[in-house]
Amino acid sequence: MKKSLLALAVLGAFASAASAQSSVTLSGSVDAGIKAKGSDYSLGGSQSGYNAITFAGKEDLGGGMNAFFVLNHRFTINNGAVNSTSPTFWRNSFVGLGGGFGDVRMGRMLMPLQDMNGGFDAFDTGYAGGTHTGGLMATVRANNAVYYRSPSFSGLTFHAAIAAAEGQYIQETSGTFAAGGAGYSIPTATLNKERPQGVSGRYAAGPVNVGIAWDKNTGDYDTWGVYGSYDFGFMKLFGQWESGDLNTASGTSATKEGVDVWSISTKIPMGAFMWKVGYVSVMSDKANGDAYKFGVGGEYSLSKRTSLYSNIGQAGGDRASSSDKDVRFDLGITHRF
């Protein structure tokens, strides 16, 4: 009897050690509300990124090494469907190895410039009042990618990634607000012309967070970006600047236009309430005109995971289309888990 109890105790200890070395987590967010653009009202999430489920796992391999994976799925809150015709795990799907050297991951994922710039916008790249620069035509996510992330050297980190020159999606290079609402992507003829690649460097310590990044997309369009934020305590200030070429023609033609876009925004906490204010400006080196957008919003935290929000934004300038100039508004609730 005592031997049996001892065996069970030993087996239990091994089982506990095994479970401690490996873990799988489920996380995500669900967002729903009312959106308006001019007089056109609709129901749905503020943006696709706020309706997502992520499966992530990590295993301790010993000797300071670990293996990990991430599978991220986005869906439409209105009907639960996968966004458009996208694959199930179109946002991120990768596996990697980590250790004292940093980590290396392989699969489909955000490239360095887009991975960085999302953290320097008070509106978290979404909401009707958003003033995110957007990366111009930098690769958003690349298929068949290999990505290296360094360890932190007293707050300094480096990222580098390259992807195969095949199987890339044109929509992952589409123009942002800087394209004047057209959203043109690279010409069809240049798809998979080059290997998408990029690098970035960041220094983050205390209230300071600054970085620089470069990207070349599959159509051989370059984008540079400089980003920064500073937390004053009573407010957090964000800044973005990006420069590169846009394709401003549709179909198979290419009309390159040099564009600079910058934004400044801030979050101002007041207890459970958070103010958000921002401005983004686009400047062209051709006669396609300039554009700008103002945004203001608020978020009220009901708990650490649930918040109510409302935002408003409006664009202007010669470059902005009449549709862009319509006032945008949203009102909703987000729950994170």
Contact between residue 309 and residue 128 where contact means Cβ atoms under 8 Å apart: no
Residue 162 in tokens:
């390259």
The total domain count for the chain is 1
At 14 the pLDDT is: 42
Query: Could you report the per-residue pLDDT of 22-74, keeping only the tens digit for each?
Result: 899 999 999 999 988 887 888 877 665 678 899 999 999 999 999 999 999 88
pLDDT of residue 182: 59
| Averaged pLDDT, 225-230 | 98
pTM for the predicted model, two decimal places: 0.86
pLDDT tens-digit map of 270-326: 999 999 999 999 988 766 678 899 999 999 999 999 999 999 999 888 877 777 788
Does residue 12 belong to any structural domain of this protein?
no
* Structural domain span for residue 104: 30-336
Q: How confident is the model at residue 11 (pLDDT cuts 50, 70, 90)?
A: very low
* Closest C-alpha among 186, 201, 106 to residue 138: 186
Domain-located, residue 4: no
Per the domain annotation, does 18 fall within a domain? Answer: no
In a domain, 8, yes or no: no
**Secondary structure (DSSP) of 164-227:** -SSS--GGGG---GGGTT------GGGTTSS--EEEEEEEEETTEEEEEEEEE-TTS-EEEEEE
Q: How far is CA 70 from CA 27, 67, 93, 158, in A?
A: 11, 11, 6, 21
Residue 5 lies in a domain: no
Residue 163 maps to which CATH number?
A: 2.40.160.10
Q: For the chain, what percent of residues have pLDDT higher than 90? A: 59
pLDDT on residue 83: 59
Q: What is the mean pLDDT of the chain?
A: 86
Average pLDDT in the 96-122 region?
95
- Domain-embedded: residue 125: yes
Structural domain includes residue 67? yes
CA dihedral 159, 184, 292, 299 (to 10 degrees): -60
Judge whether 130 and 274 are in contact, CB under 8 Å.
no
Rounded mean pLDDT, 139-146: 95
Domain-embedded: residue 1: no
pLDDT number for residue 291: 87
